[in-house]
Structure 1
Amino acid sequence: MTGAPMVHVVDDDAAFRTSVSRLLIASGYQVADYESATGFLQASQEARPGCILLDVQMPTLGGIQLQEQLAKVSHSWPIVFMTGHGDIPTSVRAIKAGAEDFLSKPVSKQILLEAIERALARYAAMEQSRNELNWFRSLVGTLTTREDQVFVLMVRGKLNKQIAFQLGTSERTVKAHRRMVMQKLQVQSLAEAVSIAERLGLLAPPSASTAIHR
């Protein structure tokens, strides 16, 4: 996210939306407010990513139901629930479903801002991790079939001669493939290559039929 952090306030109480929006803007946030969960859903595809400050009880579509719908479409923006009608089962359900926090109205300025800050920080960390994984996948995707086979075996600790035997080729050819693997993955050491494989989940024990191919 660039610029001031974004907060989407979804609440059917106009007075609440106005007061919270003023507080958040004064605290350095950009704010978009919605009088209904349906309104947010309609705008979310074009909206800027940010934290969702969400009321639980709203007409037609409640906060928990909105959370469920967003999960179905893999919508990962962090959600902080705020409600004047909350109960423990509802809060537990929301947190288990991935909500960052569940606050009861009225809530102090400090508690609200701290909850939003935590939610945005966690979201930023998740986005960074997701971007790194996508970058690693794109690098691995540049490998040829044979380079991919060598990569899988080398990160499992196989020596060149072992790889050559398993692939039915020469050590010299394996060394050449290893050099290309390191170059394409943009790494300087085997440890870095192993780290990429770990991040992509490629080091799980292979089955008998997939000892080489991923």
Structure 2
Amino acid sequence: MNTRCICDPMVFIVDDDAGVRRSLRMLMESAGHTVASFDSAEAFLKACRPDWRGCVILDVHLGGMNGPALHALLTARGITLPIIYLTAHGDVPGAVQAMRRGAVDFLLKPVRGQHLLTQVETALASQHMADLTPAPPAPLGKLTPREVEIAELAFAGLTNKEIARQLSISHRTVEYHRTQILHKTGTTSFVQLASRLTLRHEPDHARTPGDPPGP
């Protein structure tokens, strides 16, 4: 994947099945879209740039980091590329959670090509509208760089010991930073923090009656 500056909207495909990536690329390119594909969430994160525009077709069940974890990390970094989830193992709770995270749609494989293209157009239109409005403050803007790093690893599902080992710091230091993260963000758990981060970017019309407004 070429990591040049991408100013024009693109369709980013993240799926660990080479056949699915190939068929989705052909479908998108046949409709005139520029496509970049990745075989893992980690590969997408490594290449991702803040100036990227477009939408992401994201597999839920990836090897390594899964789709929802990638979505949470992107949100935590203030990257609001619209997400269209694909899965071969859909379930109602998973679909509801995906939509509450602000996903454009949650589709079962094999997906109907025309419906997917319609949802991609919807996602690209929402990205364009977002570009016309002022960007909100970074969700983790009050945190230090080390705290942001630890928060992102926690969102990815790593335990305190795994975070400590990856960052070459002590387990107690990780615990201290996690406490500081929750204190600074006014939350009581990382589950609550992840929910609050995603609700910040959820369109008002996507909230169900009785949902509290985002902070």
Is TM > 0.5 for Structure 1 vs Structure 2?
yes
Q: Which residue of 2 aligns with 1:66?
A: 70
Q: In the TM superposition, what is the alpha-carbon distance from 1:56 to its structure 2 partner?
A: 0.1
Question: Which digits, 9 at most, give the CA deviation of each residue in 1:75-113, with x for residues without a partner?
Answer: 111000011111111111111011111111111111000
SS at match of 2:134: helix
1:54-203 map, 5 Å: 54-130=58-134
Q: List structure 1 runs of 4+ shifted beyond 3 angstroms.
A: none
Q: In the TM superposition, what is the alpha-carbon distance from 1:48 to its structure 2 partner?
A: 3.0
| Sequence identity percentage | 39
Question: Which digits, 9 at most, give the CA deviation of each residue in 1:155-187, with x for residues without a partner?
Answer: xxxxxxxxxxxxxxxxxxxxxxxxxxxxxxxxx
CA distance in 2, matches of 1:102, 1:31: 20
Unaligned runs of 5+ in 1: 134-214
Query: Could you say which structure has the greater relative contact order, defined with CA pairs below 8 angstroms and 6 or more residues apart?
Result: 2
Structure-2 change in CA distance of 1:86 and 1:41 (3 Å): same
Question: Which amino acid in the other structure matches residue 96 of structure 2?
Answer: V
CA distance in 1, matches of 2:15, 2:104: 17
Are 1:33 and 2:5 an aligned pair? no
Unaligned runs of 5+ in 2: 1-5, 137-215
Question: Which digits, 9 at most, give the CA deviation of each residue in 1:92-148, with x for residues without a partner?
Answer: 1111011111111111111000000001101111111227x9xxxxxxxxxxxxxxx
CA distance in 2, matches of 1:127, 1:45: 15
Q: Give the TM-score taking structure 1 as reference length.
A: 0.58
Q: Which residue of 1 aligns with 2:24?
A: 20
Q: Which has the higher helix share?
A: 1
Aligned residues: 132
Q: Give the TM-score taking structure 2 as reference length.
A: 0.58
CA distance in 1, matches of 2:79, 2:95: 20
SS at match of 1:130: coil
Bigger-Rg structure (1/2)? 1
Contact 2:58–2:67 (CA under 8 A) maintained in structure 1: yes
CA distance in 2, matches of 1:50, 1:121: 9
CA distance in 2, matches of 1:59, 1:110: 28
